Amino acid sequence: MGGIIAGLLQLLGYIFYIRNEDIDPEPVTWFMFAYGTLILAVLEWDANATFAELILPTVCGTLAIYVAYRCWKKARKSNPTKWWPEDWWPEDFYDRLSLISDLLITLLYIAAWILAGMAFLDQDTREVAVLAFLFLSNLSTFPSFYPILHSTWKNPKREHWLPWLIWAVAYAVLAAVTYATHESFWHPLMFYPVSNVVMHTLVSVLALRKTKSND
């Protein structure tokens, strides 16, 4: 039941986010979300995550692709001559570094995951390797959030606090489900919900600054 609630909250957050025309999504972050979250869902499935634990990342990964597509479509409309939007290769050095590091981490664990599945490793070693890949996948959460944290800090009006708060609550519910399932706060599957509670709350707090300034 908890997994369903987390998934529904995640969906609700996306409904608010997509329907709010005042929000200007940060394209680099959403590009990283689009490929990163679905890959992570596959890795969690391979690490024997339960159905309840997989609902939220599946919903998130699918709808993140949709948001990223909307960003791409908007960029194409403003400049039809470019298939790869200019703002998807950011000018800011640290935004660019976050994209490169996220791509490198992603390519690393995809390559290692493929090699692990090609019978080069025995079953016990492969299980350890899958957990290592899962950790690397979760590690990419931090660089993927940097561009949106940076842009929201500079201009809070680009985001709205409500969807990010709903998502933070959804991840908190998922964290509770994961803890109840594995009975350990230090289980590898706990890293995903806990890290996302922190990062989504940060975006919500930064976006809330515009509400205070408008009062």
- Please give the model's pTM, rounded to 2 decimal places: 0.85
Report the C-alpha gap between 77 and 75 in whole angstroms: 5
Res 123: pLDDT? 63
- Taking 80 as the threshold, does the pLDDT of residue 121 lie above it? no
Lowest mean pLDDT among 69-73, 120-124, 132-136, 170-174: 120-124
pLDDT at 103: 82
pLDDT of residue 84: 66
Q: Which domain holds residue 85?
A: 2-214
Number of folded domains in the chain?
A: 1
